[in-house]
């Protein structure tokens, strides 16, 4: 059924105010901005005196023991540091935005470049870096598919999730994103017991959000925008709630994917993907940390930004509040920064120190290599793949050729008859640049040439849904959106504002050839329908960002892949399904694609492992998820990319997630906070904690006890060391099997490991040697990435690790 009516139950309106569609109300917003604007204006006067604009900087001082009594001491120290560069108590107090004191030691303040430089030269300061808006969100059936793929109860998933989730009611997952729509049925607390007694968080009130907006499901909610407002001089509350309430939809979607309750009878607009919606850990508790806000511009609904100072404050609070898992579907939009200057990496490091698992999206810039983000080894970095569901939309060309498109638009062309077909490049207004003439960018189409026709547009520049809006503006009858070659057969679906569908790159080529061969091309767009059990599946999404890790190529990223293509989940009723200003539809569930969608799948798996193994470290949980992943699809063949090529570790890391297998991994690769500090010393010469000095000659980065192996620049031979911990039951004997990368010999010693008891550790070595370059079997060209694997097995468990080598 179409779900765009008001939900029963608690009203979504307060004091005559419609939460689903915010109206222009600048006069009402002004009073709440006045204190901040006055403060900012006073700071800008100080800036004017120096002739330069001050900025928000994060001053990172390392870690601390986490003792509550130390927090006041840390605040005093932060104030003293600010006073030393500001010169007066008043200026020091006015410049401070955040004290980071729960899990790490640092602060965020408005500083000049000179002040930040002076602070960075202090011996106790690890780094002082600008908090920039270079971060953004990486924007049902998926959990049933994961159960089916693991051979559990068939394709409907049956009872496999409740059986895993029954102990997760005491696990708390924090979600950093754009907030939450608390009235969604996905966040009902029906049947849940009391809030865990260890919870120390808060339900922060604000615009259209009060303490009663939280319940036994949403047990905490906070919002952070001091750095955002310092940069943009305030918040336009026409497009955002000054509260944890979600105006965008992204945060509601990710929160319900990780821990939404099981809700029967839901669907996207138009009845697509009908069925029961459920998060991966439906009994887990949610803590919401709103850190992403609209970018001012012509259509602020379209894109959000997230500032590091705000995110780091949220991560610090989240760990102090008592979360067990942090789900962060946010990544850098620019070049990666070194770990000491990366707010998410710093926050994740100190979260891991407290045993909190941090799962992050890997980015949507694929299939180009070296595009993956969130690169630190102490976090889980997630790629995106498909599930076994499609939304078939038959297309009949005038020459009799039948093509299958994909769409979830609720609009249909009337009459079930042929409509004229036109290529966008043949219907643009004069002056449209030739290189984008086929992409239906805003105001590019000529109404005289497209009116009443199906317009063929190609993906590329601009948003897919905006292309549909442009076709509608120009009077087109429908949009037919074609993939570029790089996207292959992967088709993200959209709820367009007019009839339409999307096709693969090969089918787009067929359609264009037909248009060029006919004087009066036509097409019929038949009604679309939801189809399941699509094969092959899963398939790696072409948009999913790829390896290598440009910051530290001796650590393979992404770590894992999970469902992220065309995922149905809860949505904010303040945001239309396309997020476009011209779209006035209201939905409660929406379909989205991106590593933002795959990240909460892995976060939910971490919740389930945390419930089953509360004493495991974050590294052990990460290891279990990675070493039990599969590199095969549901049919037993190799995982493929969306362009039809065979995928590998550079695409998916360790493979596709299998949550049930991860519960019993057999062996794990563990690592400590000190191990990560030594890794940072070797990787970038970064001393991330002043209390732990870097050794003169740290071990190479590939010696970190990580569940995957990457060696960049192999010249001759190298020996990598690893240690595994037995987490099964009783005695165990494991034997290793090696699939060596092409042109590289791999020798593991010893080849057998015997464990007398659970918790016992065993070390082993992996010697890799490059064979001589040249022609012939078994040789590899220099400068080429090659992949293989090794796996330990006791006959029940298979503990597999990928190997990626770049031969120098």
Q: Which residues pair with 725 in a beta bridge?
A: 668, 761
Q: Predicted confidence band at 30 (pLDDT cuts at 50, 70, 90)?
A: very low
With 50 as the cut, is the pLDDT of residue 700 above it?
yes
The answer to whether 542 and 419 are in contact (CB under 8 A) is: no
CATH number assigned to the domain comprising residue 443: 3.50.30.30
429 with 544, same domain: the answer is: no
Q: What is the pLDDT averaged over residues 475-479?
A: 98
Each residue's pLDDT tens digit, 629-656: 999 999 999 999 999 999 999 999 999 9
* Residue 26, in any domain of the structure: no
The answer to whether 20 and 573 are in contact (CB under 8 A) is: yes
Active site residue 250: yes
Each residue's pLDDT tens digit, 540-595: 999 999 999 999 999 999 999 999 999 999 999 999 999 998 899 999 999 999 99
* Residue 8, in any domain of the structure: no
With 70 as the cut, is the pLDDT of residue 19 above it?
no
Task: Tell me what pLDDT residue 333 has.
Answer: 84
Chain centroid, CA 143 distance in Å: 17
Q: What is the pLDDT averaged over residues 304-332?
A: 97
* Residue 645, in any domain of the structure: yes
- Tell how strand 304-306 and strand 292-294 pair up: antiparallel
**What are the tokens at 220?**
């905490």
186 with 275, same domain: the answer is: yes
* Residue 224, in any domain of the structure: no
Q: What angle do CA 735, 736, 739 make, to 5 degrees?
A: 155
- Tell how strand 732-739 and strand 785-793 pair up: antiparallel
Whole-Å CA distances, 765 to 722, 753, 785: 6, 12, 22
With 90 as the cut, is the pLDDT of residue 300 above it?
no
**What letter would DSSP give residue 48?**
H
Each residue's pLDDT tens digit, 104-140: 999 999 999 999 999 999 999 999 999 988 888 876 4
285 with 187, same domain: the answer is: yes
Task: Tell me what pLDDT residue 639 has.
Answer: 98
- Tell how strand 17-18 and strand 13-14 pair up: antiparallel
Q: Predicted confidence band at 164 (pLDDT cuts at 50, 70, 90)?
A: low
**Residue of 78, 102, 138, 250 marked active site:** 250
* Residue 99, in any domain of the structure: yes
Q: Which residues pair with 719 in a beta bridge?
A: 767
151-160, 432-441, 646-655: the lowest-pLDDT one = 151-160
Each residue's pLDDT tens digit, 365-383: 999 999 999 999 999 999 9
Phi, psi of 457 (to 5 degrees): -115, 155
Of 791, 512, 452, 505, nearest to 655 (Cα)? 791
* Residue 220, in any domain of the structure: no
Distance CA 327, CA 606 (A): 10
CATH number assigned to the domain comprising residue 74: 3.30.70.80
Distance CA 328, CA 461 (A): 26
513 with 542, same domain: the answer is: no
Q: Predicted confidence band at 3 (pLDDT cuts at 50, 70, 90)?
A: very low
**Residue of 596, 598, 789, 801 marked active site:** 596
571 with 714, same domain: the answer is: no
* Residue 479, in any domain of the structure: yes
DSSP string, 71-119: HHHHHHHHHHHHHHHH-SHHHHHHHEEEEE-SSEEEEEEEE-HHHHHHH
With 50 as the cut, is the pLDDT of residue 160 above it?
no
Domain end point (choices 130, 151, 173)? 130
168 with 287, same domain: the answer is: yes
H or E stretch at 733 = strand 732-739
pLDDT, averaged across the chain? 89
Q: What's the pTM?
A: 0.90
**Residue of 54, 177, 310, 670 marked active site:** 177
Task: Tell me what pLDDT residue 37 has.
Answer: 33
* Residue 458, in any domain of the structure: yes
The answer to whether 790 and 766 are in contact (CB under 8 A) is: yes
Task: Tell me what pLDDT residue 166 has.
Answer: 62
Task: Tell me what pLDDT residue 52 has.
Answer: 57
Q: The domain containing residue 644 runs over which residues?
A: 142-195+234-239+247-388+538-663
Task: Tell me what pLDDT residue 155 has.
Answer: 35
Task: Tell me what pLDDT residue 63 has.
Answer: 87
| 732 vs 164, residue with greater confidence | 732
Domain end point (choices 663, 696, 725)? 663
Task: Tell me what pLDDT residue 36 has.
Answer: 34
Task: Tell me what pLDDT residue 298 has.
Answer: 80
776 with 763, same domain: the answer is: yes
224-228, 334-338, 346-350, 440-444: the lowest-pLDDT one = 334-338
Task: Tell me what pLDDT residue 684 has.
Answer: 83
516 with 556, same domain: the answer is: no
Task: Tell me what pLDDT residue 774 has.
Answer: 52
Q: How many domains does the chain have?
A: 4
180 with 320, same domain: the answer is: yes
Task: Tell me what pLDDT residue 808 has.
Answer: 87
Active site residue 84: no
With 60 as the cut, is the pLDDT of residue 50 above it?
no
584 with 647, same domain: the answer is: yes
Task: Tell me what pLDDT residue 182 has.
Answer: 98
Active site residue 613: no
Q: Predicted confidence band at 21 (pLDDT cuts at 50, 70, 90)?
A: very low
Of 258, 197, 122, nearest to 562 (Cα)? 258
Domain end point (choices 105, 130, 155)? 130
486 with 549, same domain: the answer is: no
378 with 439, same domain: the answer is: no
Task: Tell me what pLDDT residue 626 has.
Answer: 98
CATH number assigned to the domain comprising residue 287: 3.40.50.200
Q: Predicted confidence band at 706 (pLDDT cuts at 50, 70, 90)?
A: very high
Task: Tell me what pLDDT residue 168 has.
Answer: 82
Phi, psi of 345 (to 5 degrees): -65, -45
């Amino acid at each position: 059924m179409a779900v765009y009516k008001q939900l029963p139950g608690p009203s979504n309106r307060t004091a005559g105010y419609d939460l689903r569609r915010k109206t222009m109300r600048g006069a009402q917003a002004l009073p709440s901005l006045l204190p901040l604007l006055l403060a900012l204006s006073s700071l800008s006067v100080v800036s004017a005196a120096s002739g330069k604009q001050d900025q928000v900087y994060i001053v990172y001082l390392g870690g601390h023991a986490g003792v509550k009594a130390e927090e006041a001491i840390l605040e005093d120290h932060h104030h003293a540091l600010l006073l030393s560069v500001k010169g007066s108590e008043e200026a020091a107090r006015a410049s401070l935005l955040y004290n980071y004191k729960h899990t790490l030691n640092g602060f965020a303040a408005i500083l000049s470049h000179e002040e930040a430089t002076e602070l960075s030269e202090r011996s106790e300061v690890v780094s002082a870096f600008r908090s920039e808006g270079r971060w953004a969100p990486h924007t049902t059936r998926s959990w049933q598919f994961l159960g089916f793929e693991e051979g559990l109860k068939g394709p409907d998933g049956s009872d496999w999730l409740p059986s895993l989730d029954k102990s997760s009611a005491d696990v708390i997952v924090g979600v950093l994103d754009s907030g939450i729509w608390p009235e969604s049925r996905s966040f009902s607390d029906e049947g849940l017991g009391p809030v865990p007694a260890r919870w120390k968080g808060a339900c922060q009130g604000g615009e259209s959000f009060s303490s009663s907006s939280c319940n036994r499901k949403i047990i905490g909610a906070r919002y952070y925008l001091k750095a955002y407002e310092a940069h943009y001089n305030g918040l336009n509350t026409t497009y955002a709630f000054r509260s944890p309430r979600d105006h965008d939809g992204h945060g509601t979607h990710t929160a319900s994917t990780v821990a939404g309750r099981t809700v029967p009878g839901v669907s996207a607009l138009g009845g697509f993907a009908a069925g029961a919606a459920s998060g991966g850990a439906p009994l887990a508790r949610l803590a919401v940390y709103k850190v992403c806000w609209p970018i001012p511009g012509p259509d602020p609904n379209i894109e959000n930004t997230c500032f590091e100072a705000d995110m780091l404050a949220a991560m610090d609070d989240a760990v102090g509040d008592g979360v067990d898992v942090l789900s962060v579907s946010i990544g850098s939009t620019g070049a990666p920064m070194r770990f000491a200057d990366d707010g998410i990496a710093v926050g994740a490091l100190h979260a891991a120190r407290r045993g909190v698992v941090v799962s992050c999206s890997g980015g949507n810039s694929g299939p180009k290599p070296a595009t993956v983000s969130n690169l630190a080894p102490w976090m889980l970095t997630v790629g995106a793949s498909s599930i076994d569901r499609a939304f078939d939309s038959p297309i009949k060309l005038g020459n009799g050729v039948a093509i299958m498109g994909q769409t979830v638009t609720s609009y249909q062309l009337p009459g079930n008859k042929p409509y004229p077909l036109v290529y966008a490049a043949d219907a643009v207004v004069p002056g449209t640049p030739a290189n984008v003439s086929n992409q239906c960018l805003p105001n590019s189409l000529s109404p005289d040439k497209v009116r009443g026709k199906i317009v063929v547009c190609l993906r590329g520049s601009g948003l897919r849904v905006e292309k549909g809006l442009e076709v509608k503006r120009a009077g087109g009858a429908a949009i037919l959106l074609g993939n570029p070659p790089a996207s292959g057969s992967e088709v993200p679906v959209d709820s367009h504002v007019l009839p339409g569908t999307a096709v693969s790159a090969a089918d787009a080529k067929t359609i264009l050839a037909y248009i060029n061969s006919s004087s009066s091309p036509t097409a019929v767009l038949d009604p679309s329908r939801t189809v399941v059990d699509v094969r092959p599946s899963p398939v790696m999404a072409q948009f999913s960002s790829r390896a290598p890790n440009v910051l530290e190529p001796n650590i393979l990223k992404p770590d894992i892949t999970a469902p992220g293509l065309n995922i149905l989940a809860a949505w904010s009723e303040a945001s239309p399904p396309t997020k476009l200003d011209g779209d006035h539809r209201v939905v409660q569930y929406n379909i989205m694609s991106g590593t933002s969608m795959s990240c909460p799948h892995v976060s939910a798996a971490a919740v389930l492992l945390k419930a089953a193994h509360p004493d495991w470290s974050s590294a052990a949980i990460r290891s279990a998820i990675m070493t039990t992943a599969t590199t095969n699809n549901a049919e037993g063949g190799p995982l493929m990319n969306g362009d039809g090529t065979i995928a590998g570790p550079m695409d998916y890391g360790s493979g596709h997630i299998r949550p049930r297998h991860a519960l019993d991994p057999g062996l794990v690769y563990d690592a400590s906070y000190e191990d990560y500090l030594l890794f940072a010393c070797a990787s970038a010469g970064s001393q991330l904690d002043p209390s732990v000095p870097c050794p003169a000659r740290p071990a190479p980065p590939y010696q970190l006890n990580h569940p995957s192996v990457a060696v960049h620049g192999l010249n001759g031979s190298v020996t990598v060391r690893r240690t595994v911990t037995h987490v099964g039951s009783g005695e165990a004997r494991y034997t290793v099997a090696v699939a060596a990368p092409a042109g590289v010999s791999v020798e593991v010693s010893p080849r057998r490991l015997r464990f007398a008891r659970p918790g016992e550790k065993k070390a082993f070595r992996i010697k890799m040697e490059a064979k001589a370059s040249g022609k012939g079997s078994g040789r590899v060209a220099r400068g080429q990435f090659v992949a293989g694997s090794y796996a330990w097995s006791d006959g029940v468990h298979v503990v597999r690790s990928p190997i990626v080598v770049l031969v120098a």
